[in-house]
Amino acid sequence: MHIAVASGKGGTGKTLLATNLAKYWSGMGNSATYIDADAEEPNGHLFLAPKIQSQKRFSVKVPTLKDGKCNGHKKCQEACAFNAILALKGEIVVFNELCHSCGACVIACPENAIGETDREIGTIAFGKAGAIEFISATLDVGEARVTPLIEGVVDLAQNMTGNILVDAPPGTSCSAMAATENADLLLLVTEPTPFGLHDLRLAVGMGRVLGKKLAAVINRSDLGDDKAKLYLEAERIPLVAEIPFDRRIATAYANSKLAVDEIGWFQESIAALADRLVVLTGEES
């Protein structure tokens, strides 16, 4: 099964859930691949402590002028929907942070004077954390657009078998969509506060737009109100775990440890959650 752990709000506990679930699966003898798709701020490696075996740089295409071929038509500038290319006399200036790598300028040039070159925006790392296959994407600091990198790392899961767990970035815009679009089920992590509920609604909206099965976890479930729970019931979204605040979880987290290794009741919650996911996705792993 392919699960993406998402939320509207940041800081609800996506990485906590994703890393502990991956560890639990692998401990049960199931093959598990953990993909850290929160490429702006990836944190999974802090808890899974993978041995990195290889890394590759990830690039996007940007336009480049073939020497001597520009005849000053400026069709490239006209065609660009993002104001990313400026046509000067015999030269082009490309604003990399605006370029969407769409190729319109290449098509538009009547002289076939525009080619494409690779521009690096981040790194994808591959490794193993015990029995867990670990893949992580990291955006270079200073880069504006993260979505192509997230698409790139999540696409790697297409050819994989076994359980896949994608740790998504917060939010519901294009970066979160890219991280979750290939999943069988979205596991939405929320907290029982007005912020948590407000952003959970957005996350549910995203899940519905993507046509995904949904399940939810309420983290720090005893610190707030019951509105999230009522909302989930009304929306018929299965609540697969409620995790009360436990200082020991916070301590494990602060010490880069996996709570599932340290705390008995938490391991049981994760086990129950894992079982429910099997039922909800209609699969054995």
Partner 1 sequence: MKELVVLSGKGGTGKTSVVASFAKLAEQSLVLGDCDVDAANLALLLPGEDQRKEPFFAGQKARIQIGRCTQCGECVETCRYGAIQEEGSGMRVDPFFCEGCRACSLVCPEDAITFVENRCGTIYERITSEGPLVHAELGIAQDNSGKLVTRVRQKTRFLAEEHQADLILLDGPPGIGCPVHASVGGASLVVLVTEPTPSGIHDLIRILDLCQHFNLKSLVVVNKLDINKSLSDKVLQVAKQKDAIPIGGIPFHPDVPRALARGELPIAIPEIRRAVVPIWKQIGKFLF
Does residue 11 touch partner 1 according to CB under 8 A? yes
3-state secondary structure 17-55: HHHHHHHHHHHCCCCEEEEECCCCCCCHHHHHCCEEEEE
Q: Identify residue 147 by its one-letter amino acid code.
A: T
18, 125, 132, 139: residue in contact with partner 1 (rule CB under 8 A): 139
Of the pair 124, 274, the CB lying nearest partner 1 is at: 124
Q: What's the chain's Rg over C-alpha atoms?
A: 22
Does residue 81 touch partner 1 according to CB under 8 A? yes
Selected range binding partner 1 among 26-34, 65-73, 175-183, 235-243, rule: CB under 8 A: 175-183
Cα dihedral 187→190→196→197 (10° resolution): 60
Does residue 15 touch partner 1 according to CB under 8 A? yes
Does residue 225 touch partner 1 according to CB under 8 A? yes
Of the pair 117, 251, the CB lying nearest partner 1 is at: 251
Of the pair 66, 198, the CB lying nearest partner 1 is at: 198
How many other CB atoms sit within 10 Å of the CB of residue 78?
Answer: 12
* Strand ordering across the sheet containing 2-6: 51-65, 114-129, 132-139, 32-36, 163-167, 2-6, 185-190, 213-219, 239-243
> Which residue in this structure is represented by tokens 């894992």?
274
Closest separation in Å from C-beta 279 to partner 1: 27
Number of separate helices (H) and strands (E) present in the chain? 11, 11
Closest separation in Å from C-beta 28 to partner 1: 26
Does residue 107 touch partner 1 according to CB under 8 A? yes
Does residue 250 touch partner 1 according to CB under 8 A? yes
Contact 10/170 with Cβ under 8 angstroms? yes
Count the alpha carbons within 13 Å of 36 in the hemisphere toward its beta carbon. Answer: 30
Does residue 10 touch partner 1 according to CB under 8 A? yes
36, 133, 167, 191: residue in contact with partner 1 (rule CB under 8 A): 191
Does residue 27 touch partner 1 according to CB under 8 A? no
Selected range binding partner 1 among 6-14, 62-70, 88-96, 236-244, rule: CB under 8 A: 6-14
Interface residues with partner 1 (CB under 8 A)?
A: 8-12, 15, 40-41, 43, 46-47, 79, 81-82, 97, 100-104, 107-108, 139, 141-147, 169-177, 191-195, 198-199, 202, 205-206, 209-210, 220, 223-225, 245, 250-251, 253-256
